[in-house]
Structure 1
Amino acid sequence: MLLLAAAFIVAIVLLLYMVSPLISPKPLKLPGAHVVVTGGSSGIGKCIAIECYKQGAFITLIARDENKLLQTKKEIEKYSVNDKQVVLCISVDVSKDYEQVENVLKQAQEKLGPVDLLVNCAGTSVTGKFEDIEVNSFERLMAVNYLGSVYPSRAVISTMKERRMGRIVFVSSQAGQLGLFGYTAYSPTKFALRGLAEALQMEVKPYNIYVTVAYPPDTDTPGFAEESKTKPLETKLISETSSVCQAEQVARVIVKDAIQGNFNSSVGSDGYMLSILTSGMSPVTSITEGLQQVVCMGIFRIVGLFYLGSFDSIVRRCMMQREKSENTDKTE
């Protein structure tokens, strides 16, 4: 049995070695590159723009609020590394009108050159029990979180193919790897990004274009603060099982993975475990990554089952407490 196991591992290593030249992209050089960030006026998007600007990139910020965009532009410009760098601001809703999104991105490319890196960071969240969430919220979240990434990507992909280069980042969430209580409207939109990314990566890989899906954990952003105001108790307790990350830390990881052309981008030990557990048939970009998935999958599944058990326990306790409280109110 040991010999068979050893032979199996050797066969996998040899296979990965043979295909490694096909899956290892060359790093993208950011100095002088044109980086477009949607949802770039605050939170993770803003920090990604700052991180790229620090490395010499030209930035196009896209968001709805023009005032926030202008404030963010001033903040980013403090980090310039040369006097040639430019921060361009465009106020548009990337989830509503594809033609409008296509037109503004054409204008941006006329001013700053072809897009080298597109970061789809526009997104929003609604939490609550499935039956309590308004139906139009499901539609709105799918429009913003999914179509808001489809439209900009669709607008730049042809030029990237012509140039035989480019990077596209979809900012999903750990809630796009694991469905949790309270996220019935939010999680599906983030899961959808992974399906889009996997299919798109297979299409564009021959053109030297690489797609990254980022799965940030709870991150200290204005959006997270707003979401926390309406979280059900169960969701809050589950969220408290892991720490809140800083947007700057998350941005550095995403930019690094995008530059390297990594398909998965995760933060921290929990993020690493989830990326292994949910790797499925997703692309790999190194021999090491593939081997880690093969070796760690079973072990992490055991750990994951303990997490799921604790989450189910939280939900049951909250339900019992709620029913007890309701029965007490009825008897009074």
Structure 2
Amino acid sequence: MAGVYISFSSLILIVPLALLLLLYFIVRPKPARVPIKNRHVFITGGSSGIGLSLAHLCARQGASVSLLARDAAKLEEAKQSIKLATGCDVSVFSADVRDYDAVKRAVEEAGPIDVLVCNHGVFVPQELAEQEIEEIKFMVDVNLMGTFHLIKAALPGMKKNRAELGPGSIAIMSSQAGQVGIYGYTAYSASKFGLKGLAEALQQEIISDNIHVSLIFPPDTDTPGLVEETKRRPQLTSIIAASSGAMKADEVAKKSLNGIESGTFIVPCNFEGFLLSVATAGLSPQRSFLMAFVEVTTAGLMRLAGLFFQWNWYGAIDKWRSTNTRT
């Protein structure tokens, strides 16, 4: 019996160590570091919120920063705020990401980009049955097609001389609504879920060019856009999403920049986002064998937790519907 006990105890240690060793050799792409100092960082949606906070961080680290947004007046305010806070001049470009020609002109004028941050986005919450088709198209065109436009315009310059210039990065700002669908977010989630497929395939296409993709999943973030969004949120959306608190833009920017610099593919911004990233890892690339170990060993548990969440959400929907039907 003692021999059996010792063998079982050894097995408990050997299996995890063997799994760690296996993951060390098979995780791809390999770890990378993307420097920010003395690099050209191009940020869309950079006139406010997360984009502006990222611009401040990058400027403080010695990057050459370019900002793109639609509102020229807000861009000028952002430029002056960065100048005042850091002493750094930034370049600003007014363009609509839905207009590929305008985006391409701005990118060409800005010059070759080392780090592209696709941070633009719009969100109008509403049930699909009630939402106008033009609003749906607007979200898809800005959030998904706008990202295609930026990447397509920037890639030729980003690919040049990467061996001499060092690693480049394309960071794509998704949302926790790009990891899990929520009532009232049908169109928005569709536009953000699409970014994951874009990012996964793109990473395979440009890994040989030494360009690394980061897909960032912030929760609700305390920005002017969130204030407007909550005015239109369906009541059920607020009930289901009540457990997820809002983060400050500066906090999301710091998490995002850390993920970009480490070449991390999936970048969560809080603990809930971390759990979602484990639960939805699927076939996404993973650079950290330790994180891969967490994903492999907790996948079943995360699925169970997800089923409990669904049980709670559908229960809330049934309760709300029955109450409002009677009244």
TM-score (norm 1): 0.91
Of 92, 96, 100, which aligns to 1:93?
96
1:38 to 38, 44, 53: 44
Aligned runs of 1:195-206 on 2, under 5 Å? 195-206=197-208
Which of 212, 234, 237 aligns to 2:236? It is: 234
Q: Which residue of 1 aligns with 2:170?
A: 168
- Distance in 2 (CA, whole Å) between partners of 1:246 and 1:259 is 20
Q: What amino acid sits opposite 2:139 in the alignment? A: L
Classify the secondary structure of the residue corresponding to 2:93.
strand
Q: Rate the CA distance shift 1:21–1:215 in 2: closer, same or farther, 3 A.
A: closer
Instruction: Work out which of the residue numbers 49, 74, 83 in structure 2 matches 1:77.
Output: 83
Contact 1:53 1:79 in 2 (8 A): no
CA–CA separation in structure 2 for the residues paired with 1:135 and 1:161 = 37
Amino acid at match of 1:12: L
In structure 2, what is the equivalent of residue 50 of structure 1? 56
In structure 2, the residue matched to 1:304 is 306
What is the CA distance between 1:321 and its match in structure 2?
Answer: 1.5
1:297-320: CA deviation from partner (whole Å, max 9, x where unpaired)? 222222222222111122111111
2:322 counterpart of 1:316: no
CA distance 1:236–1:4, shift in 2 (3 Å): same
Q: State the alpha-carbon separation in 2 of the partners of residues 247 and 303 from structure 1.
A: 28
Question: Tell me, which stretches of 5 or more residues in structure 1 are unaligned?
Answer: 326-332
| Structure 2 counterparts to residues 1-332 of structure 1, below 5 A | 9-19=16-26, 22-25=29-32, 27-80=33-86, 85-96=88-99, 98-109=100-111, 114-164=112-162, 165-325=167-327
Contact preservation (8 Å) 1:45, 1:121:
yes
Task: Identify if the C-alpha distance between structure 1 residues 44 and 22 changes in structure 2 by more than 3 Å, giving closer, same or farther.
Answer: closer
Offset, 1:168: 0.4
Task: State the AA in 1 paired with 2:67.
Answer: L
Contact 2:175–2:217, Cα closer than 8 Å, also in 1: yes
Is the Cα contact below 8 Å between 2:29 and 2:285 reproduced in 1? Answer: no
* CA–CA separation in structure 1 for the residues paired with 2:285 and 2:234: 35
Which residue does 1:329 correspond to in 2?
Answer: none
Gapped regions of structure 2 (runs ≥ 5): 1-6
Given that residues 127 and 183 in structure 2 are in contact (C-alpha distance below 8 angstroms), is that contact kept between their aligned partners in structure 1? Answer: yes
Contact 2:27/2:285 (8 A) holds in 1: no
CA shift for structure 1 position 246? 0.7
Alpha-carbon offset, residue 20 of structure 1: 5.6
* Partner AA of 1:58 in structure 2: S
d(CA) in 1 for partners of 2:127, 2:70: 28
How many angstroms does 1:13 deviate by? 2.2
In 2, the alpha carbon distance for the partners of 1:129 and 1:5 equals 49
Q: Shift of the alpha carbon at 1:22?
A: 4.9
Moved more, 246-255 or 99-108: 99-108
Cα distance in 2 between the residues matched to 1:19 and 1:159: 31
SS at match of 2:297: helix
**Cα shift readout 1:257-277 (whole Å, capped 9, x = no counterpart):** 001100011011110000000
**One-letter amino acid of the structure 2 residue matched with residue 90 of structure 1:** F
Q: Could you say what secondary structure the match of 2:97 adopts?
A: coil
Structure 1 vs Structure 2: percent identity of aligned residues? 36
Q: Distance in 2 between matches of 1:4 and 1:142?
A: 51
**What TM-score do you get using the length of structure 2 for normalisation?**
0.92
- How far has the Cα of 1:216 moved from its partner? 0.3
Name the SS of the counterpart of 1:122 in structure 2: coil
- Note closer, same or farther for the CA distance 1:21–1:322 as it changes in structure 2 (3 Å cut): closer
What code does the residue aligned with 2:42 have? V
Moved more, 300-309 or 132-141: 300-309
Deviation track 1:151-183 (CA, whole Å, cap 9, x = no partner) reads 111111122222223100110000000001001
- Post-superposition offset of 1:18: 2.1
